[in-house]
Amino acid sequence: MKRLFIALVILFIPACGPSRDAFSTATIPVPIMATSTSERIIAPSPTAQATDTPLPQNTVSPTETEVPRTTQAALTRLQPGENVTISDIQMLDAENGWALESKYHILHTQDGGNTWQDVTPPQGTYMASGFFALDSKTAWATFFTEFYQPIPSAFVWYTLDGGQSWQSSQPFPVNLDREGKSVPNDYYRLQQLYFVDRQNGWLLVDVYYGMHSTRLLLFRTQDGGKTWAVINDHYHDLYKAAGIGVAFINPEEGWYGQNDIRFQWISLRIDEILETGGWKLPKTLDGGRSFTEFTLLPLPAELRKPQFAGKSADCGETRMLTIAPSVIGVEWTCWIYTEPRQDYSFYALTSDNGQSWHSWLATGNEFFLNAQTGWRLSTSANTQELQQTSDGGINWLPVKSVAWQAAQFDFVSEQVGWAIVQNDNATAFIRTTDGGKTWDEINPVITQ
């Protein structure tokens, strides 16, 4: 079963240390490209099927060092009959799914997205990168704090009944690195919450930003979210300024995405990539404790242009996706410092656990149901076209011309899917039952 989380968010990362007036609850920075309104999406592997093994209950055992427990204010509940704006959606089948709405509540539907229940945990405010659903009943969520609101500890909620009730993990410190040393701590911002199965999950957070320097922490759970421990950090393998996320094919083997692109540090030359023979994607074989291995993604022809020889560049990953068993998608981008600067984004796909990859110029909104079938919105100066592939992205065929300027997709079969689309300042939530040939708008409303 496919699960893909769509996140429509606004990127804002200042060129140097942030001013206090630069941030608001409506401006949430995430480390992806700012060239368009883009999704922050990570999809779990369909190997993560629900089993009869229960998740751990919230029993706290004594520890040598008591971690102070952070408390968060509760959001005002959405009322029955209230219309909502869906900003992120993760459907599990034609009827059941989850969503985030524009006021940071977590929602649950059982009728294909027409009506929704407000199932937000008892404390906290939530964004897409801090939420993950394994199935229609099982999900995890962790709150975020505003800038200049440091906290000593955090926790992760989990639910087994579709959000009707939530239990919390043990609190874990967010001001220490993996060796227990203090790290700067100015806020608690989620980059990714991800589970590969009912027991094994990862949480990537950013806790500080100043003078082009973030502090990233990677936590892991192996007991279904009951306890979390930091296993990697900014001082070790998470050294780039922007952490994108992880994509795992099993509890130990996966890849990590990061970049410095937005900061324009001009950190390499195109010649270096050409000499290597591909783009080096950090890989782990120990569940994220180290990312010292690499996978070489295909070297695109666009980077081999003679005029790029000797040119400086900033390159890095901008999306990491686990799509299906053995299927991983990676988007990576290069800013090449010619006059004027030239920017390229590439999408690399593997269907054999990373043994082989093929790639193409990315649109930034590709969605894959499985290793073969996918959709994307292709835009040019005068046309916008919904396209579909049935051969893993080698060929893209037109489905229909559309008026959308941006779109994020979520399909549960070759026929049934949803999209959040934009045209100028207008946003619509739509559904198709014929593979994208026709779409109907949904006006989502809160139900009891």
What's the pLDDT tens digit per position in 57-80? 433 333 446 788 889 999 999 999
Cα distance between residue 412 and residue 14, in whole Å: 37
CA 192 to chain centre: 6
421/5: higher pLDDT? 421
Structure confidence at residue 212 as a pLDDT band (50, 70, 90): low
Look up residue 296 and give its amino acid.
Answer: L
What average pLDDT does the segment 40-51 reach?
A: 36
Q: Above 60 in pLDDT, residue 369?
A: yes
Q: Which of 211-215, 350-354, 391-395, 435-439 shows the lowest per-residue confidence on average (mean pLDDT)? A: 211-215
What is the reported pLDDT for 54? 53
Task: Specify the pLDDT at position 100.
Answer: 97
Average pLDDT along the chain: 87
Query: Is the sign of the CA dihedral 263, 267, 269, 273 positive or negative?
Result: negative
- Please give the model's pTM, rounded to 2 decimal places: 0.86
Q: Which two tokens stand for residue 57?
A: 């209950």
User: What are the tens digits of pLDDT across the range 92-119?
Assistant: 999 999 999 999 999 999 999 999 999 9
The phi-psi region of residue 392 (left if phi > 0; otherwise alpha if psi is between -120 and 50; otherwise beta) is: left
C-alpha 284/C-alpha 242 separation (Å) is 18
pLDDT per residue as tens digits for the range 337-363: 999 999 999 999 999 999 999 999 999
Residues 444, 116 contacting (CB under 8 angstroms)? yes
